[in-house]
Structure 1
């Protein structure tokens, strides 16, 4: 893989207790799951989010979308957990990978409601995470979603992921879900930022 990528991970309660001081020596950034739906809170979010910053890891938070629940309500739930962003924090990410029994238009509408509310509240542009297969089957008909940076999940040894329909670039690539790092027991998702350290820092600047 290209040496120009910056290394990152995304975690949730599935990783259990994490030694972030040790992890910080191996990654450039990390995201922690904060919430899903309009009521579920990841039990490890508060501890992870505070420890990431204390260890000097560029940190972000993400929300797992329930497409059958009002997107604005989900955004309010997430924002309440996130609190006030601090200098250097990365923009939030919206994980869109399950249809929850809804049709494409409903998924699109729900995702956009969350993305726009979070963008307006934080003055930064959130990322949208999805696999190529899910995007092509459920999201490709919504051009407005391409206004948000793509975090693509594709597990391959290739030098770059294949992009979904209607998408011309990606920002982060989740290239493995079976990674191993010192400081984490068990498997962890491995991510690559498609750019420089300066470009990563730019993500947290106010949306234009």
Structure 2
């Protein structure tokens, strides 16, 4: 069974095979094809240390406005977590670990930046029994999806399936350096994401989580639906009504970033399920 569902066929012929676990736990064969990389419009990369999961959202998405809405008596399922980057620097994990079930830390951006605080932000939660993961801030106009997946894997994004390490996450959102969709057509952007997703899945044997907003996804991929069969979705929606409308194909969110600030460091997130399900996502099964 092929794990690739694009809007048109990739250019290259498949070579070899690899298997990876999808969002539903199925093992499927990963497509080894790769879309050709479009002509790149290299950005002037001036502030990678300031780019983080959701850093562009408030300035672009009119539906993402309300701060920190979840309360202890909320009916929204909320297994609490955070995502962090070099903006948070050194974190007192001993003081906050009892309030968390998971942490994602920024590892990389493009093929040129590594979070200097990543090791402490990745290992700190783990040493205190908190499930952890790594994420990559995508810059599709800078290099190919395949190259960025490889860079991410080599610098913190690899997956062990040990029950305490979540699959890597692809943070793909509004361009912090220029045009909203990085100058790519919806077809080119969809191909770029497939290249990242399939490269990660082929090498790590788990499909990565995809983080975005519904507005960005609809605008920049043409609301591509195929990824929902394979990748968990992490929606950014700062509203008290839950994750809100989701992009094409996804019937539920796996993670929800509901605020870009709160009582805990970094962005405030929830996992949509029980702790046993979170551990399953972190396991090879």
Q: Return the TM-score normalized by structure 2.
A: 0.67
Tell whether the 8 Å contact from 2:161 to 2:284 is kept in structure 1 after alignment.
Answer: no
Aligned partners of 1:164, 1:192: CA distance in 2, in Å?
A: 18
Cα shift readout 1:38-68 (whole Å, capped 9, x = no counterpart): 1211111112112121121100000011112
Higher normalized helix content (fraction of residues): 1
Query: Paired residue for 2:209?
Result: 127
Question: Normalized against structure 1, the TM-score is what?
Answer: 0.90
Structure 1, unmatched stretches of 5+, are: none
Contact 1:2 1:159 in 2 (8 A): no
Among residues 85, 92, 97, which one is paired with 2:173 in the alignment?
Answer: 97
- Judged with a 3 Å threshold, the aligned counterparts in structure 2 of structure 1 residues 139 and 206 are, in CA distance, closer, same or farther, namely farther
Q: CA deviation at 1:81?
A: 0.9
Give 1:3 deviation, angstroms: 6.0
SS at 1:173's partner residue?
A: strand
Q: Indicate the residue corresponding to 1:80 in structure 2.
A: 154
Is it true that 1:20 corresponds to 2:93 in the alignment?
A: yes
3-state SS, counterpart of residue 98 of structure 2: coil
In structure 2, list runs of 5 or more residues that go unmatched: 1-73, 175-180
- From 116, 130, 138, give the equivalent of 2:220: 138
The root-mean-square deviation of aligned C-alpha atoms, in Å, is 1.8
Q: Between Structure 1 and Structure 2, how many residues are aligned?
A: 202
Q: Is the 8 A contact 2:167 2:207 kept in 1?
A: yes
User: Higher mean Cα deviation, 59-68 or 81-90?
Assistant: 81-90
Work out which of the residue numbers 235, 243, 248 in structure 2 matches 1:165.
248
Kindly indicate which of the two structures has a greater share of residues assigned to strand: 1
Q: Judge which range, 80-89 or 162-171, deviates more.
A: 80-89
